[in-house]
Every structure is written in structure tokens, then in C-alpha cells.
Amino acid sequence: MTVILSLKEAPDIPIEADTITPSHFAGKGVKEIEKIPIQQGNEVLKLKDFFDISGESAPTPDETEILVKGDLRKVKMIGKGMNGGRITVEGNTGMYLGAEMIAGRIHVKGSVGPWAAAEMEGGNIQIEGDAGDYLCAGYRGTTDGMKGGRVYVAGNVGREMAAHMRKGFLAVKGNVGPQSAIRMMGGTIIVIGNMAERVGVQATKGMIFCLGKMDSLFPTYKFSGSSDREFITFYLRYLKERRPDFLSEDIDYSEKWVKYMGDFAEASPGEEIFIRASKNPHLI
């Protein structure tokens, strides 16, 4: 059962819409949903002040789907803390999409602002456009970034992606900005495009697979030999089963992969970075 939210017009002041989740909508009629609070600046307003609302919710969050339409670039926190159900966003949306998400599925048919999936614990987020800075990262001052779940980005990602990442799976079809995976402590990242400088600074655990060009590696990462192609194929197959559009080229089994370990500036260097030799002769 689906509730449809159509933004009346793009707000001049950003709104904080962390109440747009199946948990807040489940078991409520349209009239009740219209009265759900939403924050704009220092005012607490109602959803009906910004959205035309139609459809019907289900008795439980897991059975409830929310469809959000419009120019949502100034609508923050859609799906924040979400714990079941589905959200589909038709268009671009603002900051903190799916932040602190626990369970459920979010599908964005556009781009998202900074801090999407920040400190995410579980669930599945599919982003068909670009993602801003700090995707799957931890907030300033925290030691925990992404702690679980799966995130797929069909476009490019900004800087400091997956900072403090502990668990989970992240796949990016496009390019990734600088300083990704800073202080990474677990999880898996696959980047089909290129990765900018300062990857994995102070990282101690986890795996990064870069199918494109990696601009540079810190000297605190050490060459660890060629990698087992079968091992890498397992992860690429996992991605292809879920997003076959991400892997447009077939990678030959004879292709050489190179593994680096680090960050050896840390007490427990266990981060593994795998790169294609054909794309990165400057690092070999």
C-alpha cells in the first residue's frame, strides 16, 4: 500500500523531513498523515503545508511504501532512522537521505545531497544519480560511520566517502572524490570508476576494489603481491547479480590484479586495496 507525497513547490528555506518514513505513516489515514510535524527553520509545521498527500498506508511499516515527488533538493532527512518499508523518490533530494537507517529499502531516481546513508546500520539504498560528500560516513566527532546495509550509486560520489566505515557493502559505478575510506575499520567498497587521492588514510580493516584508475596511494601502504582472480570474481559476481548495469565490461580472467596492505602508520594495518594493473601502471 502506497502513500504519495507531491511537493507543492520548492521551499525557500530547507525543511527537515525525518518524519517521512513508513514507521511514521503506518496505520494512519491521509488526514492523520497530513498533520505529521515537519521542521522548517525554527518553526514546526505540518506535512500538508508542503505536500499534496494521497493514497493509503498499510497497518505495518514493512507493508507501507512512500512515493515522494518533486524538486526535493531542499528537503532533508527523508528516510532518516528508517526501520522497515520502502521509500521511492522521483527526482533529486537533499541532505541526510537514509541517514542512520536500520532496515527497509530506499530508491532514489535522481541525485542526493551530502551525508546520505550517514551512520547507516542496515537496509538497502539505491541511488540512480550522483551522491554528494560524506556518503556512508560518520558525523563529525564520531568514530562510527556505516555499520551495515548496502548502498549502490549509479553516478559519481563526492569527497570523504565511507569515512569511519565499520561494516556493510558500498558500490559506486562512477568516480569517487578525494579522501575516501578515511579511518575505515571494516566493510567492502567496489568502485567501477576512478578514485581520487588520499584513499584509506588511517584505515585498519576492510576491502576496497578499484576497477578504474586510483590517482595515488599513501607510502604507508605496502605492495602485497598479485591477488587471486577467483577471490575478486566472487565480489564482482555478487555485484553483477544485484546491479548488472554497473559492470558494462567483462573483465578477463587472465587480467592481473595487485594488492596493497595498510595503513602501516597505524598499530593494526589490515586494510586491503585491490587495483587493476592495466589501469594503474603508475602505482606498480
In tens, the pLDDT along 94-132 reads: 999 999 999 999 999 999 999 999 999 999 999 999 999
Question: Please, which residues bridge with residue 67 across strands?
Answer: 4, 88
Q: Report CA-CA distances (Å) from 55 to 22, 97, 217, 241.
A: 13, 23, 51, 33
Query: What is the pLDDT confidence band of residue 253, given thresholds at 50, 70 and 90?
Result: low
C-alpha cell at 42: 525554527
Query: What is the pLDDT confidence band of residue 231, given thresholds at 50, 70 and 90?
Result: confident
The answer, yes or no, to whether residue 239 has pLDDT greater than 70, is: yes
Burial of 106 (0-12, 13-18, 19+ CB in 10 A): buried
Task: Using a cut of 0.85, tell me whether the model's pTM lies above it.
Answer: yes
Query: What is the pLDDT confidence band of residue 265, given thresholds at 50, 70 and 90?
Result: very high
Contact 206, 191 (CB under 8 A): no
The answer, yes or no, to whether residue 279 has pLDDT greater than 80, is: yes
Q: What is the pLDDT of residue 251?
A: 76
Q: What is the pLDDT of residue 249?
A: 75
Contact 152, 134 (CB under 8 A): no
Q: What is the pLDDT of residue 24?
A: 97
The rounded distance, in Å, linking the Cα atoms of 78 and 22 is 11
Q: What is the pLDDT of residue 252?
A: 72
Query: What is the pLDDT confidence band of residue 210, given thresholds at 50, 70 and 90?
Result: very high
pLDDT digits (tens, 9 = 90+) for 26-58: 999 999 999 999 999 999 999 999 999 999 999
Mean pLDDT taken over the chain: 96
